[in-house]
Amino acid sequence: MILFLVIFALFLLMLLGAPLFIVISGLTLCLLFSGQIDSSAMIIEMHRMATTPILVAIPLFTFAGYLLSESGAPKRLIRLSNAILGWLPGGVSMIALLTCAVFTALTGATGLTIIAMGGILFPAMLKGKYPESFSLGLLTTSGTLGLLFPPSLPLIIYAIVAKVRIDELFLGGILPGILLILLLALFCFNKAIAVKVPRTGFNVPEVFRAVKDSIWELPLPVVVLGGIYGGYFVVSEAAAITAAYVLVVEVFIYRDIKWRDLPRLMKESMVLVGGILIILGAALGLTNYLIDAELPMRTLDFLKAHIASPFLFLIMLNFFLLAVGCIMGMFPALTVVVPLITPVAQAYGIHPVHLGIIFLANLEIGASIPPLGINLFISSIRFNKPILSLYFASLPFIGILLIGLAIITYLPWLSLAFLK
Amino acid sequence: MMDRWERIDEVIGRMEQALLVTLLSALILVAFSQIILRNFFSTGIAWGDALVRCLVLWTGFIGATIAAREGKHICIDVFSQWLSPKGKKFAAIIIDVFSFLICCFLTYAALKFIHNEFQMKGIAFLGIPSWVSEIILPLTFSLMAFRYFFYFLKGVLMVNQREREK
């Protein structure tokens, strides 16, 4: 009875805006206390998690991402893709899709993309005669597009929490990620023809100039992905190379970032890392307790009694995860929900890598779903538009992404094709 | 009285930032040189990986205390947009005092953890005992407890002042 009151009070505090790690820690401490387990058990979990070898990748990739978003890289990336794809019908919107996806994959932090790219892409789309609502919807939903591509931060965190091999998860995300982008690109293509967006010609010298302009950043995806898939180095090493390389290129070669800006960028990126790390630590303490208390097994028994087919289970999972992604946000959802769901899903015979991709695709779309999806709020602030207009603007895009989600969920082949 | 606290908070904040910049730079440097050494000279620093992991622990947790200072911890903010300015202040006071309490418990738990590690006499790297590299855990939680208590006091005093002015 007291426990229920405590949980209710914690829930209220969480909705009032208490830091999530405080709420989770509070709950864990309560449970440990009522189970007469020493509270340092939670700290042991936290410490074990914070010193996992793969975790090294998180601060390094995040710092590199902050450097890139602050530099002229977004501008150069947009210029290059404009030179290559600008002549297509719907070219500008496809550029927006592609560059957002690449950028989110590299920086991994949702929200950074809308802030860094939106400032250039939104005016570019309006200038290209795209309707305002269409442009807003596209940029809002594209903010998390690309989370399925390596080396995005949520993929790494999922691998840590669910104990899946990270290189397999990286391979699994590629086709589903491409599918989502293709579906949206098709929609953009249709829209551009319907509203008769003017087209620009293909300009060969401009392609060369744009390539030359971004010649130092182009090797980055090749080195990171080629290095990981080619087996030359592991993910944490790729992160170290990325951080060192981006630092040298942006500070010494392009000189986009001044020396005196570095401490601020280091601080900003590590504030994000610290916020994620501490939730991850607190959540692991909680979920370990819940797993010891056999919560997943009891959930499974309950579900098995009512839901026989894996198909039905996946539908339930989709609705559940979309809601979680919309309400809780990416990182809290990953840390708290994943360890509790994975044993249940495995009992239904769902492949761990496929499950990971389902999780991330759901959370990625959930982040744009009204009323609480974080992307909507970031866009509202970034483009200075009322939140309600963003709700309507993003609806058609969400509809298309949901179709993609259904395909990803019920066609495991997409996620597993590269594994065997 | 509050001014002095404010200054202490600021000095600690600046020290944290300096430490954070140093440690993150070291992290990038050590992690990168390990790769160079391993691939081109087929050697490596034996304690390098342990040092890197320790640096990640420290940068992450220092980042977390700075997040507490700047109010940037991840939270689910659903209700606050419908609260009046007065209600918002009231909610902030409750949240701060609650966060303070939890951080106190966490500090206590972390100190117990350090105590156990001290008795186990484990070595992190280069003869440095494990508990030294782990001391950042109680440090982080106690500092966050201090901060939340300070913000709680500030909130209460501000409300009081407002009442008196009326």
Phi–psi pair at B124, nearest 5 degrees: -80, -65
Nearest C-alpha of chain B: how many angstroms from A360? 19
Mean pLDDT of chain B: 86
In tens, the pLDDT along A218-256 reads 888 788 778 877 777 788 888 888 889 989 988 888 888
- CA-closest candidate to residue A156, choices A178, A408, A147: A147
Question: CA dihedral in degrees (A220, A224, A226, A229; nearest 10)?
Answer: -160
Q: Between chains, do B28 and A60 touch, taking CB under 8 Å as contact?
A: yes
Question: What was the pLDDT predicted at B22?
Answer: 93
In tens, the pLDDT along A124-156 reads 888 888 889 999 999 988 878 888 988 888 898
Closest CB from B25, B28, B61 relative to A240 = B28
Q: How far apart are the C-alpha atoms of A396 and A391, rounded to whole Å?
A: 10
- Chain B residue numbers with beta carbons less than 8 Å from the beta carbon of A42 are 106, 109
Question: What was the pLDDT predicted at B166?
Answer: 62
Contact present, A367 and A375 (Cβ < 8 Å): yes
Q: 3-state secondary structure string, A62-94?
A: HHHHHHHHHCCHHHHHHHHHHHHHCCCCCHHHH
Nearest C-alpha of chain A: how many angstroms from B96? 8
Q: How far apart are the C-alpha atoms of B111 and B106, rounded to whole Å?
A: 8
Q: Between chains, do A271 and B70 touch, taking CB under 8 Å as contact?
A: yes
Question: What was the pLDDT predicted at B61?
Answer: 93
- CA-closest candidate to residue B72, choices A374, A335, A272: A272
Q: If you count residue pairs, one on A and one on B, with CB atoms under 8 Å apart, how many are there?
A: 189
* CA closest to B29 among chain A residues: A244
Q: How far apart are the C-alpha atoms of A278 and B64, rounded to whole Å?
A: 7
State the pLDDT confidence band at B58, using cuts at 50, 70 and 90.
very high
* CA closest to B35 among chain A residues: A237
Question: What was the pLDDT predicted at A355?
Answer: 93
Q: End-to-end CA distance of chain B: give it in Å, rounded.
A: 23
Dihedral sign of CA atoms A227, A233, A239, A245 in order: negative
- Chain A residue numbers with beta carbons less than 8 Å from the beta carbon of B102 are 22, 25-26, 29
- Chain A residue numbers with beta carbons less than 8 Å from the beta carbon of B65 are 274
Interface test with A, best of B113, B119, B125 (most A CBs within 10 A): B113
State the pLDDT confidence band at B101, using cuts at 50, 70 and 90.
very high
- CA-closest candidate to residue A141, choices A414, A301, A305, A369: A369
Nearest C-alpha of chain A: how many angstroms from B100? 9
Show the CA angle centred on residue A271, arms to residues B145 and A250, nearest 5°: 160
- CA-closest candidate to residue A339, choices A377, A284, A263, A265: A284
Q: 3-state secondary structure string, A285-315?
A: HHHHHHHHCCHHHHHHHHHHHHCCCHHHHHH
- CA-closest candidate to residue A91, choices A125, A120, A58, A60: A125
Tokens found for residue A360: 């991330």
Closest CB from A16, A47, A279 relative to B74 = A279
The model carries a pTM of: 0.86
Q: Between chains, do B99 and A22 touch, taking CB under 8 Å as contact?
A: yes
Q: State whether residue A38 is helix, strand or coil.
A: coil
Question: CA dihedral in degrees (A395, A396, A402, A407; nearest 10)?
Answer: -170
Q: How far apart are the C-alpha atoms of B140 and B135, rounded to whole Å?
A: 9
Interface test with A, best of B14, B40, B98, B133 (most A CBs within 10 A): B98
Nearest C-alpha of chain B: how many angstroms from A44? 7
Mean pLDDT value across residues B6-23: 90
- ipTM of model: 0.89
Q: State whether residue A339 is helix, strand or coil.
A: helix
Question: What was the pLDDT predicted at B64?
Answer: 92
Question: What was the pLDDT predicted at A261?
Answer: 86
DSSP code of residue A53: G
Question: What was the pLDDT predicted at A399?
Answer: 94
Residue B78 has pLDDT above 70, yes or no: no
In tens, the pLDDT along A169-196 reads 988 999 999 999 999 999 988 888 888 7
Exposed (0-12), middle (13-18) or buried (19+): which is A346, by Cβ within 10 Å? middle
Dihedral sign of CA atoms A379, A154, A274, B35 in order: negative
Tracing tokens 């900003």 back to the chain, one arrives at A268
Question: What was the pLDDT predicted at A339?
Answer: 86
Helix locations, B71-135, DSSP H: 85-120, 130-134
Tokens found for residue A277: 């790390």
Question: What was the pLDDT predicted at B39?
Answer: 78
Residue B47 has pLDDT above 80, yes or no: yes
Closest CB from A17, A59, A278 relative to B77 = A17
- Chain A residue numbers with beta carbons less than 8 Å from the beta carbon of B75 are 14, 17-20
Q: Between chains, do B95 and A17 touch, taking CB under 8 Å as contact?
A: yes
Q: On the CB side of A281, how many CA atoms lie within 13 Å of its CA?
A: 30
Nearest C-alpha of chain B: how many angstroms from A43? 6
Question: What was the pLDDT predicted at B63?
Answer: 93
As a whole number of Å, the CA-based R_g of chain A is 22
Question: Other C-beta atoms within 10 Å of B108: how many?
Answer: 18
Tracing tokens 């070898």 back to the chain, one arrives at A53
Tens digit of pLDDT at every position of chain A (420 positions) = 777 888 888 888 888 888 888 998 998 888 888 888 888 888 988 888 888 888 888 889 888 888 888 888 878 888 888 888 878 877 888 888 888 888 888 776 667 788 778 878 888 888 888 889 999 999 988 878 888 988 888 898 899 888 898 888 988 999 999 999 999 999 988 888 888 777 777 778 888 888 887 888 888 878 877 887 777 778 888 888 888 998 998 888 888 888 888 888 898 889 888 888 888 888 888 888 888 888 888 888 888 888 878 888 899 899 999 988 888 778 888 888 888 888 888 888 899 999 999 999 999 899 888 888 888 888 887 888 888 888 999 999 999 999 999 999 999 998 898 886
- Chain A residue numbers with beta carbons less than 8 Å from the beta carbon of B56 are 50-51, 55-56, 58-59
What separation in angstroms does the CA of A150 have from each of A162, A169, A246, A350?
17, 9, 17, 22
Tokens found for residue A145: 């597009």
